[in-house]
A and B are shown apart, each in its own frame.
Chain A
Amino acid sequence: MKKSLFRVLVAVMAMGFLWQSTAFAADDEYPSKQINWYIHSSAGGGTDIFSRTVALRLRRELKANIVISTMSGGSGARMLNNLMEQPADGYTWNSFTNSNLATMARGNTTASREDVIGIARGCYDPQALVISTKDGGTYKNIEEVLAKAKESPGKVKIGVAHMASIDHVAAYEFGKAAGVEFEFVPFDGGGEIIVAVLGNVIDMGVLNPSEFMGQYEAGNLKPAIMLVADRLKDFPDTPTAKELGYDVEMATWRGVVIKAGTPPEIVEKIRAAFAKSMEHKIYRNYLEDNSMGPESIMVGADWDAFLDAKWPIWKQVMADLGYVKK
């Protein structure tokens, strides 16, 4: 009896050793260990769902164990600080959104734009300025809102989700371009803004199509203007900022970054895996269900260039609004 127990133990240990050595054998090839993917917002939110949807295919593409976890704190400050402390080996990823760029621009984190490399962007959800059409609504179109704002400065109230956020920046930039001053009313999310617009508590709300689509189809809300260049296929009748002569392009975007200094071949491998995973039906369906177009997907150098273009704008706006840490 004792002898057989001994044999079992030896066998188990040998198997363990063999498994270990195969793991070691693959060490030179990335990825050879678990990848930790951090998001700054809580489970069930937009960034969480985006990350988990891409990861479904990524795990197969990279043949790696990818663990997504939340590292909240200071609108991504803690997550970015953590990234700066990890080695540049491609095993730590961060989801990266407008809020995180704002955190960087405000100087709330040790990381700056040049400290991260863009892997891919997966979401590009345009910001729309939405008015109520319930019982006729107060305004017919964006011109009427702007006329009111010119007539009584600071009396037109715009609902935004949190201050110093993409909503706030979008409404501020649009107001600046149109030469009017809005009063910003911060809410905790799109749902609350919709309620406030429907209840005529505020004049206009900054929302993404995915948030107000249901109410739009029911005829209670409509976008007065889209802060994009070309008209969206879901909203053929809604003018864009560019058409009306305002040079403002604002969208809620989500993507992934890693630490700068990661070996180029690893960066390219991850980018390629993202490109393939976002081609897949699962990801395409996700985009469609959330009213986003395939142009959301932007991989590699393009996404890096996009971030480079956004960086000075955000730094400027954050300074204008007084949010930069002195």
Chain B
Amino acid sequence: MDQLMVGFMTIMEPMNFLSVFVGVLGGMIIGAMPGLTAPMGVALLIPFTYGMQPVPAITMLVSLYCGATFGGSIAAILVHAPGTPAAAATTFDGYPLAQKGQAGKALGMACISSALGGLFSVVVLILLAPVLAEIAIKFGPPEYFALAVFGLSMISSLGSRSVVKNLLGGTIGVFIACVGMDSISGFSRYDFGLTHLMDGISFIPVMIGLFAATEVFRQAEIGIRKIVVDRKISGLLPTWKEIKSVKTTLLRSSLIGTFIGILPAEGGTVASFIGYNEAKRFSKTPEKFGTGCLEGIAGPECANNAATGGAMIPTMALGIPGSGTTAVILGALLVHGMRPGPLLFLQHTNVVYAVFIGMFLANLMFLGLGLGGAKIFSQILRVPNYVLSPIILVLCVVGTYALHNNMADVWIMLVCGLIGYKMKAYGFAAAPIVLGLVLGELIEISLRRSLIVFDNNPFVFFTRPWSLAFIILTVVGLCMPLITSWIENRGQNNKEK
């Protein structure tokens, strides 16, 4: 408790408070720009922190991480361009709600869920970091395989109503993930001799293409056909009753996000997809998902911000990054003379707790900035399409290029945009492709790695407890719709008799 008080006092010093503010604001801007991601933002900021004290320096980076994770939802909701990969799932319900003229409500919901998820995970981080870090060690290759299978099973329910089309999309996604270096053998696949393809097709250009560019093309079509869209924009925030209606979703997503965040190599993207899918599975009105329901925004947004605190757990307590951004933060800790690991909490107690309190404050700060800004941000939709769409497309191009300074990524993004546009016309959704791409690499490498480690024994997935648990969850999840419909049918048959 004393350490927390000291931490609190430290953060309240003007310089430290300011660095939280700068971090959050910068993070929100970086997050809202498609292509500019949190790891990049943190990496760019590190050289500026060389001259700073450890507390403001690390706090600023962590605040940027929190701010960017929330910021991603702003563009996802307003213009269907996920600002960060973790916001991809937010487009499913956030964008339809904004199109209905309730952008303020969508943004408000995203902001409140993000903040609550983030605060939850920071509390877990403060109280249980060393204990929970052990989970990360329990997760070997078989567990990652089982988790990836569980994640991939969501394909059947995410996206369009047709299961076959979703499965086809998922397979395409997994196939795209096969392009590039095969990590197990060290040879490159499907590169057609092109240097650009040797590292594979990165996820972000595909995602920006399928979500943002596709939507720009669709809007252009609507513009050509001169369909008049209702442009009444309401900046109204969600009511207290609406917030209360999603409280179980918030709790569930907080837990999911924190847990996924703890696992090294898995970050907010997987967390938000699972958060969305579980919100849908347990919802009383699953048929409303995809049309702009609040649970569909709360589920993923809460989970991806809960993953920020979760990802900090192994980073600080084990010295093993829990996500792409925390890998960069780990480097920054070293720069400031702190070696993350089991002894960090003993050696640098004051700095550690000050950073945790700073992270807590960062979540509160973007709650304020986000709610206050929701009204202003929603006015973007007042801009006529013929002005807005080209701007979005330019931002997509610039953002994708900035990713690796590689024109090939821009072409991939544009081609994916065209493919996505055509696909939508035939009733395919982007979500299964993106999910297949996110999990494809993990599923392949964790399967092959497990088999190498356990001497080609396929039963290892069923004998290790965590792995078995995820396999069972997958089977139950896949069979659930069949069982419920069978029970319903039997009930009706009985009645008829």
CB < 8 Å neighbour of B405 from A46, A70, A186, A217: A70
Task: Find chain B residues with CB under 8 A from A199 CB.
Answer: 137-140
Binary contact track B375-412/A, C-beta < 8 Å → 1, others 0: 00000000000000000000000000000111010000
Task: Find chain A residues with CB under 8 A from B328 CB.
Answer: 43-44
Closest residue on chain A to residue B327 by CB atoms: A44
Asked whether A214 lies within 8 Å of B340 as measured between CB atoms, the reply is yes
A-B interface pairs (CB < 8 A), number = 149
Interface: B196 (CB within 8 A): yes
Interface: A273 (CB within 8 A): no
Within 8 A of A (CB), among B28-52: 39-40, 42-44, 46-47, 50
What is the interface residue range for chain A against chain B? 35 or more
CB < 8 Å neighbour of A191 from B50, B320, B445: B320
Task: Find chain B residues with CB under 8 A from A49 CB.
Answer: 46, 331, 335
Task: Find chain A residues with CB under 8 A from B140 CB.
Answer: 195-196, 199, 201
- State A38–B138 Cα separation when bound (angstroms): 39
CB < 8 Å neighbour of A74 from B186, B199, B335: B199
Interface: B198 (CB within 8 A): yes
A21-29, A157-165, A263-271, A303-311 - interface stretch: A157-165
Within 8 A of A (CB), among B332-354: 334-335, 337, 339-344
Taking the nearest CB of chain A, how far is it from the CB of B29, in angstroms? 17
Interface: B164 (CB within 8 A): no
Within 8 A of B (CB), among A127-176: 155, 157, 162-164, 168
Task: Find chain B residues with CB under 8 A from A164 CB.
Answer: 186
Binary contact track B270-291/A, C-beta < 8 Å → 1, others 0: 0000000000000000000000
Asked whether B337 lies within 8 Å of A191 as measured between CB atoms, the reply is no
- State A320–B117 Cα separation when bound (angstroms): 51
* CB-CB under 8 A for A183 and B452, given A49-B46, A70-B404, A73-B196: yes
Interface: B370 (CB within 8 A): no
Closest residue on chain A to residue B404 by CB atoms: A72
Highest count of chain A CB atoms <10 Å: which of B141, B187, B341, B455? B341
Closest residue on chain B to residue A162 by CB atoms: B183
Asked whether B335 lies within 8 Å of A289 as measured between CB atoms, the reply is yes
Identify whether the interface residues of A are mostly helix, strand, loop, or mixed.
Answer: mixed
Task: Find chain A residues with CB under 8 A from B136 CB.
Answer: 195
Task: Find chain B residues with CB under 8 A from A201 CB.
Answer: 140-141, 453
Interface: A198 (CB within 8 A): yes
Closest residue on chain A to residue B450 by CB atoms: A201
CB < 8 Å neighbour of A192 from B265, B331, B335, B339: B265
Closest residue on chain A to residue B442 by CB atoms: A188
Task: Find chain A residues with CB under 8 A from B138 CB.
Answer: 199
Within 8 A of B (CB), among A24-45: 42-45
* CB-CB under 8 A for A290 and B334, given A75-B198, A214-B342: yes
- State A71–B404 Cα separation when bound (angstroms): 6
Asked whether A73 lies within 8 Å of B43 as measured between CB atoms, the reply is no
Task: Find chain A residues with CB under 8 A from B137 CB.
Answer: 195, 198-199
- State A105–B265 Cα separation when bound (angstroms): 30
Task: Find chain B residues with CB under 8 A from A211 CB.
Answer: 319
Task: Find chain B residues with CB under 8 A from A70 CB.
Answer: 404-405
CB < 8 Å neighbour of B453 from A75, A108, A202, A286: A202
- State A115–B373 Cα separation when bound (angstroms): 55
The 10 closest A-B pairs by CB, nearest first: A214-B341, A163-B186, A44-B43, A44-B328, A218-B342, A43-B43, A214-B319, A74-B198, A191-B320, A164-B186
Chain B residues close to A by CB (< 8 Å): 39-40, 42-44, 46-47, 50, 136-141, 181, 183-188, 195-196, 198-199, 264-265, 318-321, 327-328, 331, 334-335, 337, 339-344, 404-406, 408, 445, 449, 452-453, 455
Supply 5 A–B pairs (Cβ within 8 Å), ascending by A.
A42-B43, A48-B43, A163-B183, A191-B265, A218-B342
